[in-house]
Chains A and B, each alone.
Chain A
Amino acid sequence: MLYAFLCYNNENAVMSWSKAEDDAVMDRLEVVHERLRKQNKMGPSLRLMPTTAATTLVKEKDLVLDGPYAETKEALLGFYVLDCENLDEAVAIARELGQANPGGAYEIRPIRLFANDQIAR
């Protein structure tokens, strides 16, 4: 079974880490990643840019808002990783997806770090 692991934390606190603290966390994670890679368990992993870099499309109102999706009533049901030329293209693609699947919202968040490990199946 493939599982997605969604990472939540206090963003302001994480953004207040010094570079040394951030590097230390990444180093400790990399030890685990490496073991998972060897066991052929590691799929793509990514670190998102801060929520200040996010843009949200509220699908039914066709409303483009700055910032992350802040409502708590809806649940996270899935996500895409798409290679877009710029934010305009990303919003256009989100609109197209939204027409195929109305309701809810897309939060469009640039990715800071993308490790595209493949699981051999």
Chain B
Amino acid sequence: MSDLGWIEAALTSARPQAVSALLRYFRDLDTAEEAYQEACLKALSAWPKNGPPRDPAAWLIFVGRNVAIDAKRRSAKQQALPEEDQLSDLEDAEANVVENLDNADYRDDVLRLLFVCCHPDIPATQQIALALRIVSGLSVPQISRAFLVGEAAMEQRITRAKRRIADAGVPFEAPTAMERSERLAAVAAMLYLLFNEGYSASGDEAAMRAPLCDEAIRLTRMLLGLFAAEPEIMGLLALMLLQHARSAARVDAKGEIVLLENQNRALWNKDKIAEGLALIDKAIRHQRRGPYQIQAAIAALHGRAPTFADTDWAQIELLYAALEQLQPSPVITLNRAVAVSKVRGVQAALDMIEPLADRLQNYFHFHGVRGAFLLDLKRSADAREAFNRAIALANSPAEAAHIRMHLDKIQESARAK
């Protein structure tokens, strides 16, 4: 890798820690971001000459803080900046910062930076955009491409969201244990949403949005590095890795979604599956089950099965039942019913989902799954009606095509009679 490549990776990976520590010093997001930018410029000239510092984040925090303080002084007294070679020779001072910034500080700083993006007044998609801008340091054009909106509109959204944060006031006091776990939960939800923005894309959008998955995984890995003993963060990272492992098999040459049962499992990423499984193993030892861990365990059972037919549906059903208990929701019951249909038969599964009809009447998957159950039970006319409902509610051409395939089969068998 070229010098510049190494520096870029070091700057990217140090950014959340550096910006969040600078935010604590200056208590102002814009000042913190500007200070970080200035420090990066210094890094680009100092690092190729002096080699990379031992702790890039500490270097950037130290330099960023000095530059910003200096800029303030300069605007007050018109003082000159320190000489370049003074800034480049920071070994001792840097070591000092490292000592002062123990892990606990870093942890709460980074969590705070992620948490301010999750302000409840800011709509969810804007929380994500804000996190990509502030925490990941993606440019506005990069973010607007991923969100498929114009740059000016995205710029405006981010500016507005930032103003909201400033108005609301950033919580700077060290969080209590309870606040810390609430912040972690909010941040985890935001990171999973970020992941799904990338993961749920299809067609031409898929390639443009895929980097969102990688970024969500990178940030979650960083969060787990800081909060190493949190089983739900292990579960969240495992869930993302296990789902992302399937991405190459999940979209066909035309960019359309390939359902799990039809995926070429040879295309699944073995490294990501193995890491996901290792993380679930770690999480289980804590014996504190949570929704991300359970969903990851379900994804792991799919990831472990060499073929769709080998899937351990009985175990999956138990896991969905556990998830249903933690987070009662008709969508989870629907998913559980799919597992039930493989374990205890289609009639039992259909009986389970009929009571959901009211609440899920506008949900594509409800009618798709119900249609498939009815078809299995040879109730063709009812199945056709359910599939027609599903098609009307399809969210993508791939979903509609999948249902049409069922309808075509019904027609064929009717003609054959």
> Contact residue range for chain A?
20 to 34
Chain A 16-58 interface residues, beta-carbon cutoff 8 Å to B? 16-17, 21, 24-25, 49-53, 55
Of chain B, the residue at the smallest CB distance from A17 is: B9
Q: Which residues of B contact A113 (CB under 8 A)?
A: 271
Stretch in B24-32, B216-224, B336-344 touching the partner: B216-224
Chain B residues near A15 (CB-CB < 8 A): 13, 218, 221
Q: Is the CB of A66 within 8 A of B282?
A: yes
Nearest-CB distance from B70 to chain A (Å)? Answer: 27
Would you call B221 and A13 a contact (CB within 8 A)? no
Q: Contacts A10-B56, A13-B56, A24-B1 hold; do A65 and B9 have CB atoms under 8 A apart?
A: no
Asked if A87 meets B281 with Cβ closer than 8 Å, knowing A49-B275, A52-B237, the reply is yes
Partner of A25, one of B1, B10, B229: B1
Contact B228 A52 (CB under 8 A): yes
B229, A16: Cβ atoms under 8 Å?
no
Which chain B residues in 253-291 approach chain A with CB under 8 Å? 271, 274-275, 278-279, 281-282, 285
Q: Give the shortest distance, in Å, between A68 (CB) and chain B (any CB).
A: 9
**Which A residues are in CB contact (< 8 Å) with B229?**
65-67
CB-CB < 8 A to A14: which residues of B? 9
Among residues of B, the one whose C-beta sits closest to the C-beta of A56 is B228
Given contacts A15-B221, A52-B228, contact A10 B281 (CB under 8 A): no
**Number of chain B interface residues as a range:** 20 to 34
Q: In the complex, which residues of chain B have a beta carbon less than 8 angstroms from the beta carbon of A16?
A: 9, 12-13, 218
Decide if A64 touches B285 in the complex (CB within 8 Å). yes
Shortest B275–chain A CB gap in Å is 5
Number of A-B contacts (CB under 8 A): 73
Among candidates A21, A53, A87, residue contacting B5 with C-beta atoms closer than 8 Å: A21
Q: Which residues of A contact B281 (CB under 8 A)?
A: 86-88
Instruction: Flag whether B225 is at the interface (Cβ < 8 A).
Output: yes
Q: Are B221 and A50 in contact (CB under 8 A)?
A: yes
B30-73 vs A, CB cutoff 8 Å, 1 = contact: the mask equals: 00000000000000000000001000100000000000000000
Q: Mark B340-355, 1 if CB is under 8 A from A, else 0.
A: 0000000000000000
| CB contact list, B171-223 vs A, under 8 A | 218, 221-222
Contact flags (1/0) for B219-258 with A, using CB distance below 8 Å?
0011011001100001001000000000000000000000
Contact for B278 among A21, A25, A53, CB less than 8 A: A53
| A112, B221: Cβ atoms closer than 8 Å | no
Whether A53 touches B225, Cβ cut-off 8 Å, given contacts A13-B10, A15-B13, is no
C-alpha gap A70/B52 in the complex (Å): 22
Q: A87-B281, A87-B282, A88-B281 are in contact. Are A50 and B13 (CB under 8 A)?
A: no
Query: In the complex, what distance in Å separates the CA atom of A10 from the CA atom of B12?
Result: 12
A67 to B285, CA, bound (A): 13
Smallest Cβ-Cβ distance to A47: which chain B residue: B271
Query: Within 8 Å CB of A72, what residues of B?
Result: none
B13 and A12 contact, CB distance less than 8 A: yes
Decide yes or no whether B308 CB sits under 8 A from chain A. no
From residue B384, how far is it (CB to closest CB) to chain A in Å? 45
Q: Provide the residues of chain A in CB contact with B228, threshold 8 Å.
A: 52, 65-67
Complex: A17 Cα to B12 Cα, angstroms: 9
Contacts of B278 in A (CB 8 A): 49, 53, 87, 110
Contacts of B9 in A (CB 8 A): 13-14, 16-17, 21
Q: How far, in Å, is A15 (CB) from chain B's closest CB? A: 6
Within the complex, the shortest CB–CB distance from B379 to chain A, in Å, comes to 44
User: Once the chains bind, are A12 and B274 in contact (CB under 8 Å)?
Assistant: no
Q: Please determine whether B279 and A53 come into contact, CB atoms closer than 8 angstroms.
A: yes
Q: Among residues 1 to 25 in chain B, which have CB atoms less than 8 Å away from a CB atom of chain A?
A: 1, 5-6, 9-10, 12-14
Q: Is the CB of A110 within 8 A of B13?
A: no
Give the residues in chain A near B279, CB-CB below 8 Å. Answer: 52-53
CA distance A88 to B278 in the complex (A): 11
- A–B pairs, 29, beta carbons within 8 Å: A12-B13, A12-B14, A13-B9, A13-B10, A13-B13, A14-B9, A15-B13, A15-B218, A16-B9, A16-B12, A16-B13, A16-B218, A21-B1, A21-B9, A49-B278, A50-B221, A50-B275, A52-B279, A53-B279, A55-B282, A65-B228, A65-B229, A66-B228, A66-B229, A87-B285, A110-B278, A112-B271, A112-B274, A112-B275
**Using a CB–CB distance below 8 Å, which chain A residues touch chain B?**
10, 12-17, 21, 24-25, 49-53, 55, 64-67, 86-88, 110, 112-113
- Chain B interface (Cβ within 8 Å of chain A)? 1, 5-6, 9-10, 12-14, 52, 56, 218, 221-222, 224-225, 228-229, 234, 237, 271, 274-275, 278-279, 281-282, 285
The 8 closest A-B pairs by CB, nearest first: A12-B13, A67-B228, A87-B281, A16-B13, A110-B278, A66-B228, A13-B9, A66-B229
Additional 8 contacts, C-beta under 8 A, given A12-B13, A21-B9, A53-B275: A15-B13, A16-B12, A21-B1, A51-B225, A52-B221, A67-B228, A110-B274, A110-B278
